[in-house]
Structure formats: C-alpha cells, structure tokens
A and B are shown apart, each in its own frame.
Chain A
C-alpha cells in the first residue's frame, strides 16, 4: 500500500479546506470499497484521505412522503435497503442498491461513493437519474446543487471542482400513480458488474392507462451513466401500450454508445439496452398501477 495520511474531518468546512489545500492529492473516504482498492493497486494516488463518516450530514437517512428522501453521501447501502418505508416508496432505487456487491460490501459501500467513483457501470446512478435525484455539494464558496445526471463527466471523473465534496443526495417524493424499476444484465446470478443496466420511472394518469411522464437511464453503454431524456419524453401523453414502450426502448437503444470490452460487445449491449428498457418500463408500469 502506498503511504498516505488519514484524517477524520472535524466539520464539512474542515473537509473542504483540506481538499482545497491538497492540490488534488486528497480523497474523501466513505466506505472505501472502491477507494482503498484503487489506492492499494496504485490506480489513484493520495497524500491524505479525509474520512467523513463521523460528520452527521454524511450519515443522514430520512424519508418523508411529502419532503422526499435525503441520503448522506456516506450512508452504507445496507441501511438504505433495510428501511421498509424507503424500500416501499423507491423500489427501483433499492433494487439497484441491493445489487452492489455482497453483504460485506453492502456493509460499507455508499451511494456517495458509487457516484464519486463515477464508473460508467455503477448500478445506483441510473436509478438515481430516473428518480430525478439532486446532488448537494459543499465547496470553498458554499453549497450548490447539481442534477445527478450531470455529476459524472467521464469514466472515474466527476463535476466536483477542487475543494468540493458530495454531502448528500436528495430524491424527490414519488408522485401519485408512479413507479420505477432498475434491471441489469450480468452473465451470472450475483456479484458482477453490469454488462448493461437500465432504469425507468413512470407517472401514469389516475386510471393507470396513459403515461403522464417518464424518465429512462442506461448504465455501461457510454463513458458515463446515460440519461435518455428523449425516450422518456416520447412516452408523455401516450397510452400505456406495447407500441409506446417499444418506441421508447428503440430510442434508448439508439442513444446507447457502447464499446466492446471483456464484459460484452457493443452490438450485444445495444440489443440489451432495448430489451432492458422495455422490461424496466413494464415493471415500472406494474408498480405504478399497484400503488
């Protein structure tokens, strides 16, 4: 392991000051399930890691049907998945989070870490995008908000500026007659990285027969998790039908810009994008009608 210092941030301001003073040589430590591996393997280098788990906001987890869901950037996945009210309000988000690693990883890994690691294949990010989640960022000039679809800018790179860190993620409360789902394709049953991931969220009219709004996002088919706004927009106002869903799936397939790599070919990923978006939409509609 490379040598670096460890500090416990005394406050958000203290963390910001340490990050700003580090010249890019400081990393924020939450669960460490990506960061510690990358430091050990030399894929990132640090002079100091700043542990934020002791700061109250970073461990936040609160849900109110009127106010929405607030998740501290360091809140471990197991706490989110174990909360029955959250699982019932955001089944698509919780099914995405629950796919991240085994129990040992769930004990430490966080949504904030999944976002800041900025993997194109991150499971939680398409689910957060379809829920229109917003990142709360602290930095030298105070706090700012950023839609989650704008957070990742390249593989392993985020929109965070020097001295900035992700504090919390806010997820708006689900609308009436809405539902969401996240599906991923892997060649085995568990414990793998997405070949393709797809999230869908829909809001239906009060009869459950027409789309009022929809959001669709893909993972592992572009340099960043991909928000496919046009696929969701195409559904708004349409009757819930196999044709409307097939058209949204076609738009998502066309938006995908996949590459060939050890997990799959570009052609397979393009095909999977359409299939998974269709299935995620069908599941989201089912959930919206059941709510």
Chain B
C-alpha cells in the first residue's frame, strides 16, 4: 500500500497545497486535482509536448514529472501565461496568424515558445523550428505556428 503525499508548491505565482498519490504525474494532478485543464494530455510518454509546463522556469513535459517532485518548486502552466491586462503577445499572435486548428497542442506550443522568448527574445526562424521540435501538431503543418512565434517576438520588441 502506498500512502498519499502532501505537496506544497507555487503554481502560477500562487502558493498551492495538495494531496496526491506518490505515483501520480504532475499532468494528472494539474488537470484532475487542481482543475487546471489548460495543460493537455497528448501521448503521456514525453514525445508530443502537449503537456508542457515550466518547472522553476525550465521547460518540461508534465507527464514525465511525478507530482511529489514539485514540492518546494515553482510551476507555470498555460493559465499563468496571460497577464492581468490581457492575452500574452504569443496568445494574440497565435490568434492573428491562425496558428491553431483543433487546439490540443496549442497550450504546449505557447508554453514552449514562452520559454524560448524568455531566453532568446529575437530568435531566427531556424531557432524557433529547432526549439519547437519537441512539440507535435497534426493540423497546422507548423508554418503558421513558427510565423506566430516570430510575430510575437516582434510585438514584444515594439512594446519594450
């Protein structure tokens, strides 16, 4: 018999406390325990990037993190990307460029792209494509996603 684990973490800037099974993934807890359903389950084996979140600012697949591992750490999900004044430029650019169709992969792409722009505010197209190689999209053919990320980088530059 395993016993449930109490976890305290910062999620999207707020202190959060939850109970989980020791073998539950961060993805399951975000969606099923905390009701943060923006993070999507795709493959659940680390191939598709749909469940991407930031763990202490580092991009990870939340399906490959055990929920107890985030005790004492900071998690940012898609719900924490928009500011209090509206959509994040990446979110606006995805809308403007029609960079989504079914939308399941979109939160993962936006969280991944946010991690890229945090580190590389002016990426080249090649850098965007390389960075997003761990995110799969079966609808768009990727091109509109890449254009949206480049456009968001430009919007953020103009706003600075």
Contact = CB atoms under 8 A, between A and B. Distances in A.
Interface of A: 1-6, 8, 29, 31-33, 36-37, 39-41, 49, 51, 53, 76, 78, 101-105, 107-108, 190-191
Contacts of A53: 69
B134 A104 contact: yes
B68 interface: yes
B2 to A, nearest CB: 5
Interface in B106-160: 112, 115-116, 130-131, 133-135
Interface string B46-68: 10010010010011110111101
A51 B69 contact: yes
Contacts of A78: 58
B17 interface: no
B134 A37 contact: no
A3 B134 contact: no
B114 to A, nearest CB: 12
A174 B24 CA distance: 43
B25 interface: yes
10 closest Cβ pairs, A-B complex = A102-B134, A6-B22, A107-B58, A6-B68, A104-B134, A104-B61, A107-B60, A190-B133, A37-B45, A5-B2
Query: Chain B, interface size: which category?
Result: 20 to 34
A11 to B, nearest CB: 18
Contacts of A190: 130, 133
A32 B65 contact: yes
15 contacts: A1-B23, A3-B21, A5-B22, A6-B22, A29-B69, A32-B65, A33-B64, A36-B64, A41-B45, A102-B133, A104-B46, A104-B60, A105-B46, A107-B58, A108-B61
Interface of B: 2-3, 5, 21-25, 44-46, 49, 52, 55, 58-61, 63-66, 68-69, 71, 112, 115-116, 130-131, 133-135
A37 B46 contact: yes
A225 B71 CA distance: 36
A102 B5 CA distance: 30
Q: Which of B55, B58, B131 has the largest number of chain A CB atoms within 10 A? A: B58
A101 B135 CA distance: 11
Contacts, number: 87
Nearest to A190: B133
Contacts of A76: 58
Nearest to B65: A32
Contacts of A33: 46, 61, 64
Q: Which of B21, B44, B55, B61 has the largest number of chain A CB atoms within 10 A? A: B61
A32 B52 CA distance: 15
Nearest to A191: B133
Contact of B2 (A3, A40, A101): A3
A101 B58 contact: no
A217 B2 CA distance: 43
A91 B23 CA distance: 37
A104 B112 CA distance: 8
Given A37-B46, A104-B59, A3 B23 contact: yes
B23 A6 contact: yes
Nearest to A189: B133
A29 B68 CA distance: 12
B127 to A, nearest CB: 11
Given A32-B66, A40-B45, A49-B66, A191 B60 contact: no
Contact of B134 (A5, A51, A191): A191
A108 B2 contact: no
Contacts of A37: 45-46, 64
Given A32-B65, A40-B45, 9 more contacts: A6-B69, A36-B65, A37-B45, A78-B58, A102-B49, A103-B116, A104-B52, A107-B58, A108-B64
